[in-house]
Amino acid sequence: MRKYLAELIGTFIMVFCGTGAMVIDQQTGGAVTHVGVAITWGLIVMVMIYALGEVSGAHMNPAVSIAFAVARRFKVTLLPGYIISQLAGAVLASLSLKLLFPSSPLLGATLPAGSEMQSFVLELLLTFFLMLVIMQVAHGSKEQGMFAGIAIGAVVGLEAMFAGPICGASMNPARSVGPAIISGHIEHLWLYIVAPMVGAALAIPIWKYLCEPAVISTDISA
């Protein structure tokens, strides 16, 4: 239960700060700026990894939890509890922002600026990049290495900075589900659920291939 509570709290804080920066930027006519929003996302992910990594691994992302399970670095029995906790944290964060900023129409919801296919491919690739980095710096299923928070937070901030204006740079089904449900903008939600999960899962076999020790044959007849 401590792991589940840590995932709920971590996802709540991440979504509250990240989408909160977007809401406040819209409410204040751009005071935070797009760069500020991207930095906020990167920083809050980094901080939560260092704060909660020792407890639950600070996944805060169903796609990451599923990918860890695919890689056999996370117990499948914990997966339902993690996903439920992450979704609950995101919904509660969006509900809190709705109470604080009732005039905000989107609450930081991720919506494609162009076609759905364009955003689908972008989300898939962004999550693929993110998961590849996570697998390299995480210990087991715990994102708690000395530089893990910096590396993962930097990737999130970087991807939010350049891809955010087009696809929203969600890379996280929970992050998209919360604002979509509370704001009522669920028309494109499917792609922000499917694309990150596919992208994260695709990163696992690539990571295994790249990091698998080379097998040197000692058979002279080979």
More confident residue, 221 or 25: 25
Residue 155 is predicted with a pLDDT of: 97
Cα separations (Å) of 72 from 27, 135, 145, 150, 201? 44, 12, 19, 24, 12
Mean per-residue pLDDT of the chain? 92
Judge if pTM exceeds 0.85: yes
Whether 147 has a pLDDT exceeding 60, the answer reads yes
Domain map of the chain by residue range? 2-211
pLDDT at 220: 37
Task: Provide Rg for the chain, Cα atoms.
Answer: 18
Mean pLDDT of 4-24: 97
Q: Residue 194 corresponds to which amino acid?
A: V
Contacts with 176 (C-beta within 8 Å, 6 or more apart), sequence order: 109, 110, 168, 170, 189, 192, 193
**Calpha distance 156→151 (Å, rounded):** 9
Residue 216's φ and ψ, nearest 5 degrees, are -100, 120
Q: What is the pLDDT of residue 221?
A: 37
Strand partners of residue 139 = 142
Tell me the CATH architecture of domain 2-211.
Answer: Up-down Bundle (1.20)
